[in-house]
Amino acid sequence: MGEASDEEERYRINPFDWETEFPEIIKPAPAGRKQGAGGFDVVIVKPPYGASFSQEETTYLLTNFKLQNYQLDSYLLFIEKDDSRINYSVAQQRWKAADGNPVNLFERPEFVTFSDKLKAFPLLDNICVITQGAKPFQGGKGKPPQTRKIVDEKPFVSEKKQNSTFRPLLRGSIIQRYEILWNKDYWISFGDWLAEPRYSANYDASVKIVIRQTGDSLIATLDCHQFIAHDNLYTIISHNNTFDLRYILGLLNSRLLTWIYQNIINPEKGEALAQVKRGHLAQLPIVILNISNPADKARHDRMVALVDQMLELHKQLAWAKTDHDKTVIQRQIDATDHQIDQLVYELYDLTDEEIKIVEEGSP
């Protein structure tokens, strides 16, 4: 019986002899030394979540690892272990110390305080209508239902205006910050025959924001020409026209909201297939100003003026002929962008330390 128990214990522990398995890396200790030469620089393993412990092991671990509570979890043992450097995903409830949770995973806990502060602001979805653009083609959709031939030949999009049903069309690749690069070469025959025309996208609004779907950051501009938007764009208008969209545009294109998006809402920065989803946009915190308050109105008007300046400067940059002119205008763009960022920090009441977090963690 004892031998069987020992065998079960060996199977459970699954001992591993590193020196035997990797003799070319881990060499035996020379005479007079306790530790051998060589070894691994990095060991990559699955995060050790949810291991089971015997009563004896539990007693030992709770005695020797001081930051564990009654919910003993194996991954926290590695966090507490001396002289270790780790990198793996950790449950959000472990982000900061609290009652019953003595493990603070951040060297800079102000990051968490900053994140909590943002929860006090209304969300973009509460003050604006966010709609995905039109989907031109999909088999079986549209009125009448699209055939395979229609999907393959794509007769409803063209480089020229074929007839009165064709309207200017925007796609994601021609949208930049504060700029539309449409060159009168992308049109769509707009109507019920499209797979998903999405009339709710308010294409005919006198002013709307368009924002790109593809990418790992927020890229938005203003449309004042009633373009149709492709489904790799979103349109944004304010509820009941209660907000000046230039103010919202300045927030969306700011360094702060890009940082919030990339670090809190959708951390896909640098990923090749990153996408901005409607649900991500809906979560963006927006400062609502009381225009009847003189100080708030001054900040609002300042933002609108700076955004107008950015829109105009990008037009001038597109028209510039010489390298000198382009350099001069780009410097003005950079300076105006900086002024917008500083105003946004003020609107969100960021501390110097919080501004430093944003500046260090964004391009």
From 59, 74, 105, give the residue that closes a domain: 105
DSSP string, 237-287: EEGGG-S-HHHHHHHHTSHHHHHHIIIII---TT-TT-B--HHHHHT-B-P
* Shared-domain flag, residues 208 and 263: yes
Total of domains in the chain: 3
For helices 352-360 and 110-118, give the axis angle rounded to 10 degrees.
100
Q: Is residue 286 part of a domain?
A: yes
pTM of the model: 0.71
Whether 182 and 254 share a structural domain: yes
Cα torsion at 90, 92, 95, 97 (round to 10°)?
-120
What is the chain's alpha carbon radius of gyration, rounded to the nearest angstrom? Answer: 29
Domain final residue pick, 70, 105, 140:
105
Domain assignment of residue 186, yes or no: yes
> Do 93 and 198 have their domain in common?
no
Same domain, 12 and 48: no
Q: Give the residue numbers spanning the domain of 301.
A: 124-360
pLDDT given for residue 88 in this prediction: 58
The pLDDT assigned to 93 comes to 46
DSSP 3-state assignment of 181? coil
What distance in Å separates the CA atoms of residue 266 and residue 217, rounded to the nearest whole number?
9
User: Residues in the chain with pLDDT < 50?
Assistant: 1, 92-102, 105-108
Same domain assignment for residues 294 and 342: yes
Domain shared by 216 and 200, yes or no:
yes
| Residue 167, helix vs strand vs coil | strand
Pull the structure tokens for residue 227. Answer: 């373009």
Does the CA dihedral 225-231-233-236 come out positive or negative? positive
Cα–Cα distance measured from residue 180 to residue 227, given in angstroms and rounded to the nearest whole number: 10
Domain identity same for 56 and 153:
no
Q: Classify residue 66: in a domain, yes or no.
A: yes
pLDDT at 98: 46
Q: How many helices (H) and strands (E) does the chain have?
A: 13, 10
Number of Cβ within 10 Å of residue 111's Cβ equals 18
Q: Give the side-chain half-sphere CA count within 13 A for 308.
A: 7
Could you tell me which residues come within 8 angstroms of residue 351 by beta carbon, excluding any fewer than 6 positions away? Answer: 110
Residue with tokens 């035997």: 20
79 and 49 in a common domain: yes
Query: Do 273 and 326 fall within a single domain?
Result: yes
Q: Does residue 207 share a domain with residue 70?
A: no
Of 154, 160, 157, 226, nearest to 189 (Cα)? 157
Dihedral angle, C-alpha 56, 59, 64, 70, nearest 10 °: 140
pLDDT tens digit string along 12-64? Answer: 666 677 777 777 777 666 666 555 566 777 766 665 666 777 888 878 877 77
Indicate if 247 and 221 belong to the same structural domain: yes
From 311, 332, 325, 342, select the one nearest 245 (Cα to Cα).
Answer: 311
The 10s digit of each residue's pLDDT in 153-193 is 999 999 999 999 999 999 999 999 999 999 999 999 999 99
For residue 92, the model assigns a pLDDT of 46
Claim to verify: residue 50 and residue 197 sit in the same structural domain = no
Per-residue pLDDT reduced to its tens digit, 288-300: 999 999 999 999 9
**Using H for helix, E for strand and C for coil, what is the string for 15-53?**
CCCHHHHCCCCECCCCCCCCCCCECCCCCCCCCCCCCCC
